[in-house]
Structure 1
Amino acid sequence: MQLLEQLLTNLPLLSIPIISAFVGWFTNFLAVKMMFYPIEFIGIKPFLGWQGLIPAKRREMAEIEVELVLGKLLSVQELAARIDPVELTKAIERRLKQVIRKVVNEVMQEAAPQLWASLPVQAKNLVYARVEHDIPNVVSKMVGDFKHNIEEIVDIKELVVTQLVNAPELINEIFLKSGAKEFPFIEKSGAYFGFLFGLPTMVAWIYFPQWWVLPTGGLIVGYLTNWIALKIIFEPKHPVKFLGITFQGMFLKRQKEVSRVYADIIESKLMTSKNIMEIALHGSGSGQLLELIEMHVNDAIERYVAMAQPYFGLGVGSERYFQMKQLAVKRIFEDSEKYLAYAYEYTNKALRIGDDLCERMQALSPEEFEGVLRPAYEADEWKLIVTGALLGMVAGFIQLYLVFM
């Protein structure tokens, strides 16, 4: 009764839980923003400034993605086995024929200009027709060897790390879309918990109106609202029933929904056919791919030339013949993006990365599923909690000065 009378006669006391609610909301709101922004470091490195925890940890996150996606859920060999040489040839054949004609012209004009110039149009068309007829055979053999050597040619770890390091906004997108319901909850819950924690602070001020009560209360509110919000998202890992109500971490409870969102982003933005082919052509395994192309192109040229001997041998010396093969390999490798781009639609459907990844993520245990998003920044969660506590303490000092002094 005495407490109620003091509240009614001293309305500024009511500002304590209200301001605590604002402090709880603001510190949680700021904690969420600090997880993602700024994307690049702002300030004076290494300590005087800030960078969003997720962008700052994107290399570690990329390595976690590789371990999760390829170590437990998908394998490069499994993906490569889904490519059908016949369907791939159909997808690129028209454009490949155009590229091959151009390559044949350039190679012959440089390696045997007189011989090529002396050939009538009908003879040149026969050369084109012979080469084009052999395309499915060459592509089939090349795809077979590509599958067999896929781990040496395509370094998926390099692909994932390169993409996420070079595009920090992509790592933010993965987290923001996967946690689309959790992050707004963190912000709103700060207000609810802040108000509740503000009530004992108000009582403490009534009986102990000391200058340190409000700053200490603000510090506790800022700390607990951030800590509790993070805990509620991931704890408990397994469903727990209490008083007829089932409790489980919000993120883990949405495992099926999050798996779909996450898998779609990985398929459409990260492990695309285009990205896989670019890492094969320009990554650390490009040398092995060049050797593979060289082997099959040389083999094809040997077969074509064997049919034209001895006339071809008289028109082209051994040195020019060697140069011709080198030039053909170089041109086909350099122009590969021109015809392989036509295979992206087919290969994206054939790989089925999104559907398979989603299905297998949904089958993960709660402990494994938590590892999808949390480990990359878990070690730095304390920074967010401490920042919230310090901001709460500052708000307590401001309240003390503006309302009670």
Structure 2
Amino acid sequence: MQFQWLDLTIPFVAAIIGYVTNVAAVRMMFYPLDFKGVPPFLGWQGIIPRNARTLARKSTKLITDQLLNLKSLFASFDANGFAGSHMSGVLDQLTDQVIAEIAEKRAGPQWQNLPDPVKQQVRAMIRVEVEKVVVDILADMGDNIEEILDIEHIVVEAVTADKALMGTMFQTVGHAEFSFIKISGLYFGFAFGLFQLLAWLLHPSWWSLPLAGFVVGYVTNWLALKLIFEPAQPRKVGPFVLHGLFHKRQQQVAHAFAEKIAGDVVNVDNMLVHMTSGPGGEKLMAIIDRHIGAMVDRYKHNPMAAALVPADQWDTIRAELLARIRAELPAKGGFLHTFTSKSVDVYQELFERMTVLDAESFEGVLRPAFKQDEWKLIVVGAALGMAAGGVQVMYMLGDKVT
């Protein structure tokens, strides 16, 4: 049969088809954030935003089971050591609050008339008492940390509040993998296009290019997804070492994942909100109320304090002191802010544990994003490839079509 120069465009068009279908597949994973079209079937919503809550729970299971298990992290929590290292400013602040509520507010004249050395002595005694209370509160918080701080709830709430968050996280963690999917379509498409060209030259049937486009779209998407995760362990084949791209980047992925989670999800602000509201907040406040209440009771029976403050005012003192502490609890530099920011280094814990995860567990960081409706991405790639092949055949010489 007679060769036509137009035939040489076949592998190049196949490369474009491979690239475009893979780019489309990646984009369809993340966009649109909301369903576009005629529900329930005629339209599309990005795979990740549609399954954001499910994916968040899967990520949370990995985090809580293997990366950031609060119970094991706080099993050896040293409340005394933590208070001594990080709570000096907080202790001074709480001591001032106790003095303000009991001495200055309830026994102002008597307190003001005391010599400064006596005031300093009283203040030192109160600070010792406050430190003991803070240590007891910290110890109770460590023992009950899973009830106070629900990591799954924090992650799911963060994802629900920000529809784009889950997609942004996967794009950040898997940026190299998504780039590979896109560019691999170009190379795989060209390679398959060479076989497509040979088939066209041998048998230029009307159906060959659409069929080849279907195969190119299907195989390039499938192969790209396959090469990201397989093989999980390095495998030597002749002079080459095959290793799944994602597994090869474990150190970089661990850094990106830990940075994203610590910065945007399990951060100080989100932890503070969770620990001051809902079931976690109720549990924490019950602990604080119990220990502060016990401290007020001890002062109530202290001869010096009893001489300064009338007996009928102690219940009011207890209520007002608790209200003041509650109001100032989440303030920057305060008790709770210091605890959440200093007790656990979320980034470091996630990073260190993720770098030593076994291959199967590590794959769970990104694999759910692909596994969720993965077949749809491949089929859409095949359909786009077939459509492009149909357009391509219309531009080939008519006398070759049988």
The TM-score range, normalised by the shorter chain, is 0.7 to 0.9
Over 3 Å counting, the alpha-carbon distance change for 1:275 and 1:84 in structure 2 is farther
**What TM-score, normalized to structure 1?**
0.85
Please say if 1:140 is aligned against 2:135.
yes
CA separation in 1, counterparts of 2:367 and 2:397?
42
Q: Is the 8 A contact 1:252 1:366 kept in 2?
A: yes
221, 227, 232: which is aligned to 1:232?
227
Q: CA deviation at 1:175?
A: 1.9
Q: How does 1:87-98 map to 2 (within 5 A)?
A: 87-88=82-83, 91-94=86-89, 97-98=92-93
Per-residue deviation, 1:139: 0.9
Contact 2:47 2:372 in 1 (8 A): no
Q: Name the structure 2 match of 1:384.
A: 377
Cα distance change, pair 209–357 in 1 and its aligned pair in 2 (3 A): same
2:87–2:338 CA contact under 8 A, matched in 1:
no
Displacement of 1:363: 2.2
Alignment partner, residue 199 of structure 1 = 194
Shift of 1:161: 1.7
Further displaced range: 388-397 or 40-49: 40-49
1:164-213 superposed Cα distances (whole Å, 9 cap, x missing partner): 33234332333223223221111111011111222333333334333322
In structure 1, how many angstroms separate the alpha carbons of the residues matched to 2:145 and 2:264? Answer: 21
Q: Matched residue of 1:246: which SS?
A: strand
State which drifts further: 200-209 or 185-194: 200-209
Q: How does 1:71-220 map to 2 (within 5 A)?
A: 71-80=65-74, 81-82=76-77, 84-88=79-83, 91-94=86-89, 97-98=92-93, 101=96, 105=100, 115-116=106-107, 119=110, 121-122=112-113, 126=119, 131-220=126-215
Structure 1 342/135 Cα, relative in aligned 2: closer, same or farther at 3 Å? closer
Q: Which amino acid aligns with 1:379?
A: Q
- 2:47 and 2:330 map into 1 onto residues whose CA distance is 36
Residue 61 of structure 1: CA displacement? 2.1
Structure 1 Cα separation of the partners of residues 115 and 72 of structure 2? 42
Equivalent-residue separation in structure 2 for 1:354 and 1:98 (angstroms): 29
Of 350, 354, 359, which aligns to 1:357? 350
Q: Any conservation in 1 of the 2:255–2:351 contact (CA below 8 Å)?
A: yes
Among 264, 271, 275, the alignment partner of 1:269 is: 264
For 2:102 and 2:382, locate their aligned partners in 1 and report how far apart those are by CA, in whole Å: 71
Counterpart of 1:382, as a letter, is: W
Secondary structure of the 2:164 match is helix
Uncovered stretches (5+) of structure 1, i.e. residues with no partner? none
Residue 296 of structure 2 corresponds to: 301
Structure 1 residues 140 and 373, CA, compared in 2 at 3 Å: closer, same or farther? Answer: same
Alpha-carbon distance in structure 1 between the residues aligned to 2:137 and 2:378: 55
Task: Sort the Cα spacing of 1:93 and 1:249 in 2 relative to 1 into closer, same or farther, 3 A.
Answer: same
Residues in 2 aligned to 1:253 and 1:79: alpha-carbon distance in whole angstroms:
28
1:54 corresponding residue in structure 2 = 48
AA paired with 2:378? Answer: I
| Alpha-carbon separation, structure 2, partners of 1:124 and 1:163 | 53
Describe the shift of the 1:310–1:325 C-alpha distance in structure 2 as closer, same or farther (beyond 3 A).
Answer: closer
Instruction: Determine what percentage of the aligned residue pairs are the same residue.
Output: 35
After superposition, the Cα gap between the structure-2 partners of 1:225 and 1:270, relative to the gap in structure 1 and judged at 3 Å, is same
SS at match of 1:285: helix
CA drift at 1:321: 3.5
Q: Deviations over 1:21-67 (max 9, x none)?
A: 10100111111122222334334444333332223222222222222
Query: In the superposition, relative to structure 1, how do residues 141 and 124 fare at CA in structure 2: closer, same or farther (>3 Å)?
Result: farther
Letter in 2 for 1:37: Y
Q: Do the aligned residues in 2 keep the contact of 1:86 with 1:136 (CA within 8 Å)?
A: no
> CA RMSD, aligned part only?
3.1
C-alpha change, 1:346 and 1:100, in structure 2 (3 Å) is closer
Kindly indicate whether residue 28 of structure 2 is the aligned counterpart of residue 34 of structure 1.
yes
* Gap regions ≥5 residues in structure 2: none
Say if 1:322 and 1:84 are closer, same or farther in 2 by CA, change over 3 A.
Answer: closer
Letter in structure 1 aligned against 2:11: P
**3-state secondary structure, aligned to 1:226:** helix
Between 182-191 and 361-370, the greater mean CA deviation after superposition:
361-370
Are residues 1:25 and 2:25 paired?
A: no
Distance in structure 1 (CA, Å) of the matches to 2:263 and 2:80: 23
- Aligned counterparts of 1:237 and 1:400: Cα–Cα separation in 2: 40
- Structure 1 Cα separation of the partners of residues 334 and 42 of structure 2: 46
TM score, norm. by length of structure 2: 0.85
- CA–CA distance in 1 between the matches of 2:161 and 2:167? 12
> Kindly tell me: are residues 83 and 28 of structure 1, through their superposed partners in 2, closer, same or farther at Cα, counting changes over 3 Å?
farther
Change in CA separation of 1:388 and 1:189 when aligned onto 2, cut-off 3 Å: same
**2:320 is matched with which residue: 317, 327, 333?**
327
Instruction: Assess if the C-alpha contact under 8 Å between 1:305 and 1:312 holds in 2.
Output: no
Distance (Å, rounded) in 2 between the aligned partners of 1:82 and 1:260: 25
In structure 1, the residue matched to 2:331 is: 338
Q: Please, which moves more after superposition, 277-286 or 215-224?
A: 277-286
Question: Alpha-carbon deviation of 1:306?
Answer: 1.8
Q: Deviations over 1:247-273 (max 9, x none)?
A: 121111222332232223233333334
